[in-house]
Amino acid sequence: MYEILLVVYLVVALALVGMVLIQQGKGADMGSSFGAGASGTVFGSSGAGNFMTKTTTSLATVFFVLSIVLGNLTASQIKKTDEWEILQKAPSAETVIPVEEDVPVTVTQDKNSDVPN
């Protein structure tokens, strides 16, 4: 179910982007550039809405509804873990046993060297 909704969500998102990109702007017609009276109205010179604006509105509504549904499905799938549980699983301390090859190095100071130790 989740995968199907995700595919539908992606298809709706791509269709919504395509519909927005192919629409013509309100001030793009020739009459508005020369001061036609219809360009100053609330909805522009094209009227209340045509097929493309209604399709864009419905795609946007479906997009937001699917976003909420997918968000709710994803939120219920994630199990919140306590950070202290992760710390309790780790070892608390390690004991280091020295090996015979671990011999401290003696530092000899060279009086002619310019490099400090």
**pLDDT per position as a tens digit, 1-22:** 889 999 999 999 999 999 999 8
Measured CA distances, 26 to 17, 46, 47 (Å): 18, 8, 10
Domain ranges of the chain: 1-88
Task: Compute the average pLDDT of residues 87-109.
Answer: 67
| 8 A C-beta contact, residue 54 and residue 60 | no
Q: Say yes or no to pLDDT of 78 above 70.
A: no
**pLDDT per position as a tens digit, 61-77:** 999 999 999 999 888 77
**pLDDT per position as a tens digit, 33-70:** 565 555 555 555 555 568 888 999 999 999 999 999 99
Q: What is the pTM of this model?
A: 0.51
